[in-house]
Amino acid sequence: MRLTISRESFCLIAICLADTLLTIVLLASGLAKEANPLMVYCVDRGYDTFCFVKLGTLIPTVAAAEMYRRYNPAFVRRALRVGIIAYLCLYFGGLLVANCPKLT
């Protein structure tokens, strides 16, 4: 059996990994602060905890989507696309709010 994932799942994984790595780099260099209160809690406990929580929410979500994709591929494609758009909007919105206080 060949394991394949949808382009949408791959895109969501890539965005989340990029977010995780960029967040760690920016936090470690003092150029940004985390906007999500839950993730602030995780970062305060270490970058390993931060990564564990980020990936611990991503992997089951993508796995569930990919399992359900066999039964309803059109729905999963749309749901993942909405998820990608929401992730990017929340990411950039949070980035602006947390790091550009004059905008709020």
Positive or negative torsion for Cα 37, 38, 42, 48: negative
Q: Tens of pLDDT along 9-64?
A: 999 999 999 999 999 999 999 888 887 889 999 999 999 999 999 999 999 999 99
User: What pTM was computed for the model?
Assistant: 0.84
Q: How many angstroms separate the Cα of 101 from the Cα of each of 27, 37, 57, 93?
A: 17, 16, 29, 12
Residues 14/85, Cβ–Cβ less than 8 Å = no
Q: Residue 47: CB partners within 8 Å, gap ≥ 6?
A: 24, 28
